[in-house]
Amino acid sequence: MDVVVTGGAGFIGSNLIRALLVEDHRVRVVDDLSTGSLANLEGVRQDVRVDHEDVRDIAAMRRAMDGAETVFHLAALPSVARSIEDPVRTNGVNVDGTLVALMVAREAGVRRVVYASSSSIYGDVPTLPKHEGMAPAPRSPYAAAKLAGEAYCQAFTRVYGLETVSLRFFNVFGQRQDPASEYAAVIPRFVTRMLEGERPVIFGDGGQSRDFTYIENAVGACMLAAAAGPAAAGEVMNVACGARTSLRELVAMLNATLGTELEPEFAQPRAGDVRHSEASIDRAAELLGYRPTVEVPEGLQTTVQWYAGALAGRP
């Protein structure tokens, strides 16, 4: 099957590509490398076609999607903090880019588009677990842009018959996640600092919690979403483990894994961050047959091993 992965040189995309290649799919990657890296495709670069293009470029997207059956639209400018600093660019890539992807997919006769959304659209509503029937309450331009992308996906399904499935990812972590970015996610930041004997920095008091989701679970959900029956078309669903871990607990788990006793440092909370996040994954279980196959402790051990190897191989 011919498959397009936008954002395929990024964290989730590069892991997804490896799973697609195992199943002998023909994979095309569209990535402008603004946040992704060809280093993430090491070992598989020769097995995929890479188009170094912006997802907002209609002509480039038409070339990429010609003859494709499935599109995984993962390209985005990530980070709540980045969106607060630059909401216009965030909207351009995350909303306009999604609209172009959907429009071209429809023109090309693509069967299904799997869209990477975000748990951030729920905002800081205290109700737990977060479920898809809740009213969205985005607290950042990033969250608002992801919600707009979902709305466009559902509109294209209803109006044009283009099958779409939107996956609300909850705090995905694992190998190939960039720890060096100013906007790096918490787990790669913690892991790489602690591997070097440095104390992790927590923004806030550490009581905030997240439904951390190992990358293998996210990749599995993408594959299931592409293959699911027509009942999944036009639907939005959470992808997570259905449990939450506080940042203090996360530090303790990493200390146990590393054999260290590093106490966290604390800094001022960041604007736009939510206090608690935990998902109901019932809808994904019903429509996709999804269930998490790797829980947080096991995922952390694998992640630590990968970063340890990456740091050891660093010049």
Q: What residue type is assigned to position 254 of the chain?
A: L
* Spatial contact of 192 and 200, defined as CB atoms under 8 Å apart: no
**DSSP state letter for 205:** S
Task: Provide the 10 A C-beta neighbour count for residue 30.
Answer: 30
Between vectors from CA 185 to CA 301 and to CA 130, what angle results, nearest 5°?
90
- 142 assigned to active site: yes
Q: Which of 9, 145, 20 is nearest to 70 (CA)?
A: 20
Q: What is the rounded CA–CA span in Å between residue 54 and residue 98?
A: 11
Q: How far is CA 231 from the centre of its chain?
A: 23
Q: What is the rounded CA–CA span in Å between residue 58 and residue 100?
A: 6
- Mention every residue, 6+ apart, whose C-beta is less than 8 A from residue 48: 8, 17, 21, 27, 28, 29, 41
CA–CA distances in Å: residue 145 to residues 40, 93, 99, 179, 296: 26, 9, 11, 24, 28
Bridge-based pairing state of the strands 209-210 and 245-246: antiparallel
Q: Considering 115, 122, 142, 307, which one is annotated as catalytic?
A: 142
Number of helices (H) and strands (E) in the chain: give both, helices first: 11, 13
Q: Give catalytic residues, as residue numbers.
A: 142
